[in-house]
A and B are shown apart, each in its own frame.
Chain A
Amino acid sequence: GDSVTQMEGPVTLSEEAFLTINCTYTATGYPSLFWYVQYPGEGLQLLLKATKADDKGSNKGFEATYRKETTSFHLEKGSVQVSDSAVYFCALKVGGTSYGKLTFGQGTILTVHP
């Protein structure tokens, strides 16, 4: 079946540090890939997405590139801020009878210190 594996966390960084959160996937079809963010006390929000190989999703300084050859969608940000502290989820969606169903990774907790 479909699955998503994220790097083990939590991740703790100082402000302005470089961030990478690894994400790899297995899928039975051709998936769309997503990063969601969950701030404390809030619901999941879509951060960025990519729908085909070599696409780069970007938002709020975060980027991720859909790599079909390595089945990866790693999240990066060049300079993190305290306000980026949250839980980040990688997810995929495959078309078919369960169109729209998201399969999530386990989440990575990011804490950024001043």
Chain B
Amino acid sequence: EAGVAQSPRYKIIEKRQSVAFWCNPISGHATLYWYQQILGQGPKLLIQFQNNGVVDDSQLPKDRFSAERLKGVDSTLKIQPAKLEDSAVYLCASSLDGTKAYNEQFFGPGTRLTVL
């Protein structure tokens, strides 16, 4: 079974530029998560989708971050404009059905973003 795919793996941009990350979850997984992991910290949930609807985006800085999950499959996370403090690893995860507490979340390898 293929895992969660993310691209690119690494990205370096200047502050105030825009950037986009892509995630393809495991086939058939209804729930998709984007986490931000700053160096030395644990991952923090940015946004959670159930199929193509947003379930939780309370921690998403909506003035600069946006995300979509068209057709309930793959997803894109965008930052515009980027700030220095956005330097982090962005993790995508998926779950068969996040409404079921026993369903495991599977994580992708992450995209490491450096903002100069």
How many of chain A's residues touch chain B, expressed as a range? 20 to 34
Contacting chain A: which of B12-20, B64-72, B80-88, B107-115? B107-115
Q: Between A and B, how many residue pairs show CB distances below 8 Å? A: 66
Contact A98 B101 (CB under 8 A): no
Interface centre among A93, A97, A102 (most CB of B within 10 A): A102
**Given the complex of chains A and B, what is the CA–CA distance between A89 and B43 in angstroms?**
9
How many of chain B's residues touch chain A, expressed as a range? 20 to 34
B26 at the interface (CB under 8 A from A): no
Contact B43 A104 (CB under 8 A): yes
Q: Find B48's partner among A32, A89, A95, A101 (CB 8 Å cutoff).
A: A101
B62 at the interface (CB under 8 A from A): no
A17 at the interface (CB under 8 A from B): no
With A42-B109, A51-B102, A99-B101 known as contacts, the answer to whether A104 contacts B55 (CB < 8 A) is: no
A57 at the interface (CB under 8 A from B): no
Minimum Cβ distance to chain A for residue B104 (Å): 6
Q: List residues of chain B with CB under 8 Å of any chain A CB.
A: 3-4, 31, 33, 40-45, 48, 55-56, 91, 93, 95, 98-105, 107-110
Q: List residues of chain A with CB under 8 Å of any chain B CB.
A: 4, 32, 36, 41-46, 51, 89, 91, 93, 95, 97-107
Interface centre among A41, A44, A93, A100 (most CB of B within 10 A): A100
Residues in chain A near residue B43, CB distance under 8 A: 44, 89, 102, 104
**Given the complex of chains A and B, what is the CA–CA distance between A89 and B33 in angstroms?**
17
Contact B105 A107 (CB under 8 A): no
Q: Nearest residue in B to A95 (C-beta to C-beta)?
A: B101
Contact A99 B99 (CB under 8 A): yes
Contact A99 B105 (CB under 8 A): no
Q: Nearest residue in B to A104 (C-beta to C-beta)?
A: B42
Contacts A/B (CB < 8 Å), 7 sampled: A43-B108, A44-B91, A100-B31, A100-B98, A101-B56, A101-B98, A102-B33
